[in-house]
Amino acid sequence: MASLRIALVQESSGLDQEANRDRLDELTPAGTDLVVFPEAFARDFGEAGSDISAFAEPLDGPFATEVERVAAERGTTVVAGMFETSGDPQRPFNTLVLRGTARASYRKVHLYDSFGHRESDRLSAGPVEPVVVDVGGFAVGLMTCYDLRFPELARALVDRGAEVIVIPSAWVAGARKVEHWRTLARARAIENTVFVAAAGQPGPRYTGHSLVIDPLGDVLVEGGPDPEVLTAVLDRSSLDEARRTNPSLANRRL
């Protein structure tokens, strides 16, 4: 395909898992190739440091099953965040499920032990195994929230062929956080000459500002702090031109 139609659903998840599942159908737009919901959309983290183990589900559980059903009904691919049961019953994985015309799962590698938070106290880190999947003829790599601060993971995705990096997030609000989010997302796009599609939960707890960035770092669309659905079209011609203009991947010396 020459282009990929993408939607970023900047909406909050609540503490009621059934209500969050129901909103997948309500919020997934038609006429898209890829719909990106935020991190932890199946159920919010709750108060900082809360035990979330009781809310974990398997990959064939109610949330992932509903993601798959909605994606099939809309004829698209949907990615959304959930807590997945792990080998440690007290510390589930923070997982992205991608279902629809493609199928993949990604367990968050870098846990948010930063800015006064200790995600690793309540969650297990996933294996360092980059996940790239074909969606509509584009190679899509998956990252989650805090992963954005680690350029080596984005580069590992690109080394596996990623042309688009999708980053569902619940980027906690605070001083400098919007600027960090925007700057890091643009840096990952520029240094890797890829599209970046980053979907965050809205304020006031999180920063919002979901955005899509092209491979030369231009922002195609950016939200504000409030709930909204953003759309963009990713053109392969823009990717090809960026990599001709800035052949930094080809110029690497390892």
- With 0-12 CB in 10 A as exposed, 13-18 as middle and 19+ as buried, what is 54? exposed
At residue 48, the pLDDT reads 87
- Kindly list the averaged pLDDT for each block of 10 residues, start to end, along the chain of length 254: 95 97 97 98 94 97 98 98 96 98 97 93 96 98 98 98 98 97 98 98 97 98 98 98 96 90
Question: Coil, strand, or helix at residue 56?
Answer: coil
The strand pairing partners of 82, in sequence order, are: 95
Which residues, 6+ apart, have CB-to-CB distance to 224 below 8 Å?
208, 209
This prediction has a pTM of: 0.97
Domains of the chain, residue spans: 3-245
At residue 249, the pLDDT reads 95
At residue 250, the pLDDT reads 94
Query: Which amino acid, 239?
Result: L
Contact 30, 57 (CB under 8 A): no
At residue 159, the pLDDT reads 97
Q: Which CATH number fits domain 3-245: 3.40.50.300, 3.60.110.10, 3.20.20.140, 3.30.70.20?
A: 3.60.110.10
List active site positions: 39, 108, 145
